[in-house]
Chains A and B, each alone.
Chain A
Amino acid sequence: SQQGEEDPQALSIQEGENATMNCSYKTSINNLQWYRQNSGRGLVHLILIRSNEREKHSGRLRVTLDTSKKSSSLLITASRAADTASYFCATDARDRGSTLGRLYFGRGTQLTVWP
Chain B
Amino acid sequence: GAVVSQHPSWVICKSGTSVKIECRSLDFQATTMFWYRQFPKQSLMLMATSNEGSKATYEQGVEKDKFLINHASLTLSTLTVTSAHPEDSSFYICSASTSGGAPYEQYFGPGTRLTVT
B107 within 8 A of A: yes
Which candidate, A13-21, A37-45, A56-64, is the interface stretch facing chain B? Answer: A37-45
Query: Interface 1/0s, chain A 34-53, versus B by CB < 8 A?
Result: 01000011111100101000
Provided the pairs A40-B111, A42-B111, A102-B49 are in contact, do residues A50 and B57 lie with their beta carbons within 8 angstroms?
no
Residues of A within 8 A of B103 (CB): 30-31, 50, 92
Q: How far is the CB of B105 from chain A (nearest CB, A)?
A: 5
Q: In the bound complex, what is the Cα–Cα distance between A69 and B46 (angstroms)?
A: 25
Interface hits, B63-117 → A, CB 8 Å: 91, 93, 95, 97, 99-111, 113
* Interface residue count on the A side (C-beta < 8 Å): 25
Provided the pairs A30-B102, A40-B91, A43-B93 are in contact, do residues A103 and B107 lie with their beta carbons within 8 angstroms?
no
Q: Is the interface of A mostly helix, strand, loop or mixed?
A: loop
From B41, B99, B101, A102 is in contact (CB under 8 Å) with B101
Query: Interface 1/0s, chain A 68-106, versus B by CB < 8 A?
Result: 000000000000000000001000100000011111011
Q: In the bound complex, what is the Cα–Cα distance between A25 and B109 (angstroms)?
A: 25
Q: How far is the CB of A77 from chain B (nearest CB, A)?
A: 22
Are A101 and B100 in contact, with the CB atoms below 8 A? yes
From A3, A33, A40, A44, B43 is in contact (CB under 8 Å) with A3
Are B97 and A44 in contact, with the CB atoms below 8 A? no
Residues of B within 8 A of A108 (CB): 43
Provided the pairs A101-B34, A102-B49, A106-B43 are in contact, do residues A42 and B108 lie with their beta carbons within 8 angstroms?
yes
Of B44, B49, B93, most buried by chain A (CB within 10 Å of CB) is B44
Residues of B within 8 A of A105 (CB): 43-45
A-B contact pairs, 10 of them (CB 8 A): A31-B103, A33-B105, A41-B111, A42-B93, A42-B109, A48-B105, A99-B57, A100-B100, A101-B101, A106-B43
Footprint of B on A, CB under 8 Å? 3, 30-31, 33, 35, 40-45, 48, 50, 88, 92, 99-103, 105-108, 110
